[in-house]
A and B are shown apart, each in its own frame.
Chain A
Amino acid sequence: MNNLALEFINISKSFPGVQALKEVSIQIKKAKVHAIVGENGAGKSTLMKIAVGELLRDAGTIKVFGQEAQISSPSDGYHYGISLIHQEFSLVSSLDIAQNIFLGRELTKGYLSFMDNHQMYKRTEKILESLKMFHLDPHLKIKDLTVAQKQVVEIAKALSLNSKIIIMDEPSAALTLEETRRLFELIRELKEKGVTILFISHRIEEIFEVADEVSILRDGELILTKLVAQIDRNQVISNMVGRSLEFFFPSKAEQKKEAKIILEVKNISKERKFSNVSFQLKEGEIIGLAGLVGSGRSEVALAIFGLNHLDAGEIYLQGKKVNINSPFEAIKQGLALLPEDRRELGLIIVRSVLENLSLPALYWDIARRYFIDLKRELTIGRKIQKELSIRFASFSQKAESLSGGNQQKVVVGKWLITKPKILIMDEPTRGIDVGAKLEIYNIVNTLAQRGIGIIFISSEFSEILGITHRILVMSEGRITAELDPKSSTEEDILKFATRKKVS
């Protein structure tokens, strides 16, 4: 009984129109790593927010270390020693690490309560030191840190609050492989120290790498809780999606022999981002652009799409040299870009689903001269909703109310409406659940069969191997290898993705 850190007993929660959680009961053992998995909308994040008091449960009990806990506001979570680390960090980017860690509870000294900077930096230093390999200078500004380092700061903050239970919402979503490996080492270390870790993840492999126990949620209900040792990958997936996935990756689209080259990139360079990148793309071909975060792959994509200026090099479309210096020009030439950062570049989250879907095509198709053909807009919207099976209640719903997978499908949809010849997809499956991933893979295949050339950028090498015809590996702004997915492994890609410049 008293080896439990956290107990959820019959937790229920509903939002307007949705039962987010239905009588969920989970027991989390002390000093263990417990993974919570499920598709988007399964209720994982809701449950975690209830645990720290960011959301109020409708019914049910929470026990912390055997005691019933009154958790009803965010400060209550801290009171009981529970910290939640969000996907979007709650750090102030203009302040340094120590200032962030002590934000709102600055140490003071003397009668006038001046800040005790000396103590704050000393204590921060001590906490950061305990995270050994992640050692950072407490004076560093948050804005100068990488995503992984920010995560470390969040963890340090949780530790400084003496949190015994740390909840991480998709901690590896924006990390490179190497950073993820180190994060997991840190998680193991924390576990050794007696900290209980709950983590939410979309990446099934991670559960087997780091978790002791796993709970699977589906549609707001707990499906099962099991020791990781007693479950395998396929069981996890089939329980998450409610059906078994025989073949995770769909069979690849056949490539026509006489396919024409539709895009040729010759020696394009941008200072400090990438240099001498050259490749060709044929119609119906899916090429993978593999590389770690920061390897320059996204910058190449942005440059081809006219969002970044090129310092040198040429781009040919259908054999003709083009000069693309704005997305408007790129769209005109039949290009489309599914950006890496969905919320920042892909969607206008405060506007409706329909407005998002029709936006890029308004100029070319949906509007007659100046006026929008509202009927045609809705017809096209319905068609694309059906084609991609995007799930939402109404076209007038705001895009921000959709789950990650459906948001991504809206972004895919808005580009398909423009009937592109070349589609660049930058991390199209990041942060979306297994079911939606599979749907994205199927969409990619269908598009390739229709003759669209696709550049598929990803740091998940398994999916690059699984769905592309040809792989270009990037490291430090250069293409370091061209691989055939049929005869390559993830290790091969990693080898070239980490190859350093010879100086």
Chain B
Amino acid sequence: MKNLQFKNIIRQYGILFGLIGLIIVFSLLSKQFFTISNMLIVMRQTSIVAFLGVGMTFVILGAGIDLSVGSVLAFSGAVAAGVIQKEGVFLGIFAGLALGVILGAFSGLVIAKLRIPAFIVTLAMMAMARGGTLVYTEGRPITGLPSSFAFLGRGYIGNIPFPIILTLIIFILAYIILKLTRFGRYVYATGGNINAARASGIKVDNIIISNFTISGFLSGLTGIVLASRLNSAQPTAGMGYELDAIAAVVLGGTNLFGGEGELWGTLVGAFIMGILNNGLNMLNVSSFYQQVVKGIVILIAVTVAQSGKK
């Protein structure tokens, strides 16, 4: 019995222990690691993966996958930057978000109505949005953004960087949607068993479209925040971010086949990825090796989670 309780705890909170373990290890290896200023830096870096991870959580809970988040991010960021230069900050942000919503909704529509697997549709969207970005930017970064735009990525409220606050707001909103609303229930139900969900009167197509729209919206937001932080929109922004976002969700214990998982897990997963980046940088580990370590950590985490299940 005792052994079993232990396994249950591992299964539910193993990822938290992993996070604490990582923090302890890096703290022992580097004095500058576990300081308030460095932790705030980590959290600010994490916010990018966290935004994408929240959207990805909706999609994966609904038994989908979204490979296009990195490209949509870049396209939205570029369009936002472009519009900001001509029409001002407010309209620019609106245009970037709207583009994310439109691209996400389009993917969702094709997946739900034409019954094409999400993997393929979003793979195509990944190529299209990246291409769109390159066309729009002519392959060059868009720079020279007004200083009023800098707040989103580099601003502070009190001592806390604004992206961290934005992460918290998004997390709380998403948590409320998933746990307290009908729509949240329907997301879990649709991902758990789409046929039974349909037979229970749920309009599952709408749920799928909504999930991808949410993911598109958050990708757009990420692109805008990233452009603000870098003071420019890069045509290559967000390359490979879809994998970081998926890794955060999976590290967080969400079932890749849908229907099961918790949002806080994604947040912890994103934080683990951020800590790895930051800690390894501090230890002067080459970025080549960092990739290897990241991969190993994901494997270990998923293996531990699996062993807790049986």
Contacts and interface: CB of A to CB of B under 8 A. Distances in A.
Contact of A337 (B1, B192, B193, B199): B199
Interface string B208-242: 00000000000000000000000000000000000
Which bracket fits the contact residues of A? 20 to 34
A362 B181 CA distance: 10
B259 A327 contact: no
Interface string A344-361: 111111110001001110
Q: Which of A307, A331, A351, A414 has the most CB of B within 10 A?
A: A351
B108 to A, nearest CB: 19
Nearest to A342: B196
Interface string A87-118: 00000000000000000000000000000000
Nearest to B186: A362
B259 A363 contact: no
Given A372-B180, A374-B180, A348 B197 contact: yes
Contacts of B203: 326, 328
Contacts of B113: none
A16 B195 contact: no
B198 interface: yes
B202 interface: yes
Tell me the interface secondary structure of chain B in the complex: helix
Contact of A327 (B182, B185, B201): B201
Interface in B104-130: none
A348 B1 CA distance: 28
A359 B181 contact: no
A330 B198 CA distance: 11
Q: Which of B1, B181, B185, B259 has the most CB of A within 10 A?
A: B185
Given A348-B189, A349-B192, A371 B199 contact: no
A370 B189 contact: no
Contact of B188 (A326, A346, A351): A351
A16 B193 contact: no
A339 interface: yes
A358 B203 CA distance: 16
A344 B259 contact: no
Given A351-B259, A372-B185, A345 B201 contact: no
Which bracket fits the contact residues of B? 20 to 34
B296 to A, nearest CB: 29
A335 to B, nearest CB: 10
Contacts of A265: none
A432 to B, nearest CB: 18
Q: Which of B1, B180, B201 has the most CB of A within 10 A?
A: B201
A335 B201 CA distance: 11
Interface in A317-346: 326-328, 330-332, 337, 339, 344-346
A339 B198 CA distance: 12
Given A362-B182, A370-B181, A370-B183, A345 B189 contact: no
B180 A359 contact: no
B182 A339 contact: no
Contact of B180 (A305, A328, A345, A371): A371
B166 to A, nearest CB: 23
B7 to A, nearest CB: 10
Nearest to A337: B199
A367 interface: yes
A346 B189 contact: no
A372 B189 contact: no
A494 to B, nearest CB: 31
Contact of A346 (B1, B4, B183, B196): B196
A355 B182 contact: no
Contact of B189 (A307, A359, A374): A359
Contacts of B188: 348, 351, 355
Interface in A412-436: 414
B180 A351 contact: no
6 contacts: A307-B198, A331-B201, A337-B199, A346-B196, A350-B193, A350-B260
Given A327-B199, A362-B182, A367-B181, 12 more contacts: A307-B199, A332-B201, A345-B195, A348-B259, A349-B192, A351-B188, A355-B185, A355-B189, A359-B202, A360-B200, A371-B180, A372-B182
Interface of A: 16, 305, 307, 326-328, 330-332, 337, 339, 344-351, 355, 358-360, 362-363, 367, 370-372, 374, 414
A-B residue pairs, 4 tightest by C-beta: A348-B192, A331-B201, A360-B200, A328-B201
